Amino acid sequence: MENYIVNKSYSIDESLLPFTDCVRYLGVYHDCRLKYDREHISIIVHHAYKRAVLNLNSFHSRDPQILKRAYYVYVRPLLEFSSQIWFPRYKYLIDQTESVQRYFTKRLFGLSKLYCERLISLDLDTLLQRRRAIYDLVFCYKMLHRLCDVPLPVDYACRKEHAW
């Protein structure tokens, strides 16, 4: 079976609606194939680079701890928002999202030239480690304890444990 998209025409009150390959919904860009590499990841990486440069140019202080705090507040949320939905699975996409943090830490004064050493001295995690280890586990906890509106296939919250 071929992979193709059916291009149908839709109208409201005889007004033809334009066809689009991508739609932004709740801050995440969804394309017609439900892939996030072309649209969403490249858009958020572009916006994150712009904010990282703005942070580096806006602060008079060159103290790495102050700039790290600004990075946490202004840049990192762009790269972590709704990551359970669009998390990149391919290495080139992971490298693309990680490149923003690599760029930002490289411009901080007095740090090592190696990325892993910069992360250790700033007490940062890679975006991959943070997303997988923290956000996915928090989301699972919320689902199991019914703190978010996501139906589970099995009612885990009401199951009784058996003493074998």
- Cβ neighbours of 87 (radius 10 Å): 17
Identify the pLDDT of residue 155. Answer: 59
Q: What percent of the chain has pLDDT over 70?
A: 87
Which of 31-40, 70-79, 106-115 has the highest mean predicted lDDT (pLDDT)? 70-79
User: Which pLDDT score, from 0 to 100, does residue 93 have?
Assistant: 85
pLDDT at position 152 over 90:
no
Q: Token pair of 104, please?
A: 């930002």
Q: Which H or E element spans position 91?
A: helix 91-106
- Between CA 47 and CA 54 the distance in angstroms is 11
pLDDT in tens, 54-88: 999 998 888 999 999 999 999 999 988 887 778 77
Q: What is the pTM of this model?
A: 0.73
> Would you place residue 158 in the very low, low, confident or very high pLDDT band (cuts 50, 70, 90)?
low
